[in-house]
Amino acid sequence: MEQTNDNQPESAIDRARKKEIAPKKVIDWSGLGKDVLNFLLKLIIIFLIGSRVVFACKVAQANILPTDSECMPYTPSMPSLSGEKEESPKYDNNTPEANIDVSYIYNKDQGGYIAYATRIAFEINEASRKYYLLDKIRNIEYNPNVNPMVKYLCVVITNIFVFYYGVTNSLFNFMNSNLNESAIILIGPYLLKYLSIVIYPISIIVSIIFCLLNLGWLMKSNQNNNKEYKHKSTTEPIWRPCDP
């Protein structure tokens, strides 16, 4: 009886025949085109956002965002002991400049490199000093007849603005000092993305802390609202501790 050997090695003809029978992979050109288009669209969005982040980093050098709660637009000019109004500190320069980039060029005469910077100038005028929302809050907070609850809420909101402006200014200054423009364009959008995720729980904690720290305003009373008080002011509230 004749026996067949199933372990016989596969011939070249059999391998070629199987290769012809095997299904060929078809390239999905439409899907590939969509992937390339999505990638280019994301890249354009990153560059657009990144360029704005670069500009914000340069603007942050001028400290345009108000981060001092004792000055305008948070605190108005208040009369001093001498009777004169104490104005907020003046700007050193009404046209501050910020470095956009720095190039080092070799100077043969001096035998070393000299730094040349391209700068952007900002004009500080009456229009740029106005902050619609902060001005509204200040006018409410320092209204002569404001009540303690409204004062308390205004103080908390003001502190939150100061905190976030300080964080924003510090972040952009950090990127401007430690990263070049190309890195900021590519990394900046992702840093802002992760910061927006982290800032949410931080904002809750910070808001609670400010609410607790300023509870003392609820223990005070505005004497301008007290009918028996004789020395009322028409320009500012007069705060006194509540009687126990």
Query: Cβ neighbours of residue 140 under 8 Å, at least 6 residues apart?
Result: 146, 150, 154
Length of the chain: 244
Q: What is the pLDDT of residue 82?
A: 46
243 vs 85: which has the higher pLDDT? 243
Give the C-alpha distances (Å, rounded to integers) separating 2 from 5, 8, 230.
10, 15, 128
Among 159, 148, 137, 152, smallest CA distance to 206 is for: 159
- HEC secondary structure over 52-111: HHHHHHHHHCCCCCCCCCCCCCCCCCEECCCCCEECCCCCCCCCCEEEEEEEEEEECCCC
Say how many domains are in the chain: 1
| Cβ(120)–Cβ(60) below 8 Å | no
DSSP conformation class of 179: S
Is 185 domain-assigned?
yes
pLDDT score, position 51: 86
Mean pLDDT (whole number) for 53-81: 76
Please give the model's pTM, rounded to 2 decimal places.
Answer: 0.69
Instruction: Flag whether pLDDT at 36 surpasses 80.
Output: yes
> Does residue 109 sit within a domain?
no
21 within some domain: no
CB 72 within 8 A of CB 129: yes
Q: What is the mean pLDDT of residues 162-181?
A: 86
Average pLDDT, the chain: 77
100 has a pLDDT exceeding 80 = no
Mean pLDDT of 207-224: 92
In a domain, 72, yes or no: yes
Q: Is the pLDDT of residue 79 over 60?
A: no
User: Facing residues of 221 across strands?
Assistant: 240
Q: Which secondary structure element, helix H or strand E, spans residue 164, and what is its range?
A: helix 148-178
Least confident of 119-128, 197-206, 211-220: 119-128
Q: How far apart are CA 44 and CA 116, in angstroms?
A: 30
Of 79 and 69, more confident? 69
Q: Are 148 and 221 in contact (CB under 8 A)?
A: yes
Model confidence at 96, pLDDT cuts 50, 70, 90, reads: low
Mean local confidence (pLDDT), 22-40: 76
Q: What is the mean pLDDT of residues 192-215?
A: 90
Confidence at residue 7, expressed as pLDDT on a 0 to 100 scale? 53
The two structure tokens encoding residue 104: 């080092």
Rounded CA gap, 35 and 86, in Å? 62
Domain assignment present for residue 5? The answer is: no
Domain housing 220? 28-77+126-241
pLDDT band at 172 (very low <50, low <70, confident <90, very high): confident
Residue 191 lies in a domain: yes
In a domain, 1, yes or no: no
CA 60 to each of CA 103, 166, 169: distance values in angstroms, whole numbers, following the listed order: 20, 10, 6
